[in-house]
């Protein structure tokens, strides 16, 4: 596992609003036939009392989905651009 900075907004917004958290996963269909969007049921016991646990949970869902069609993920996003002191950037060649 590689640590990375991430957004905690899903947990925080669910806590502030009381809204159920549902996670949609879009997938481009072959031949420009459009998109398929899978929406999972609302997350149970979300948010919890721990924003880190909630964020890890969301990121694990995203990772599972991305692994189903990695060619469709926005790979230009520099997910690991923020590194701990002394660790070099994985983007520098």
pLDDT tens digits for range 27-84: 999 999 999 999 999 999 999 999 999 999 999 998 999 899 888 887 777 777 777 8
pLDDT the model gives residue 17: 97
Between these two residues, 1 and 31, which has the higher pLDDT value?
A: 31
- Tell me if the bond preceding 56 is cis, omega within 30° of 0: no
Q: What domain range is 26 assigned to?
A: 1-93
Return the SS3 of 50. Answer: coil
pLDDT the model gives residue 1: 64
Domain count, the chain: 1
pLDDT the model gives residue 19: 95
Taking phi over 0 as left and psi of -120 to 50 as alpha, with beta for the rest, 52 belongs to alpha
């Amino acid at each position: 596992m590689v640590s990375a900075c991430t957004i905690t907004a899903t947990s925080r917004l669910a806590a502030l609003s009381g809204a159920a958290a549902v996670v949609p996963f879009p997938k481009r269909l072959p031949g420009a036939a459009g998109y398929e969007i899978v929406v999972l049921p609302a997350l149970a016991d979300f948010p919890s009392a721990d924003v880190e646990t909630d964020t890890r949970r969301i990121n694990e869902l995203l990772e599972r989905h991305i692994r189903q069609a990695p060619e469709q993920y926005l790979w230009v996003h520099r997910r690991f651009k923020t590194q701990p002191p002394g660790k070099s950037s994985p983007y520098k060649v």
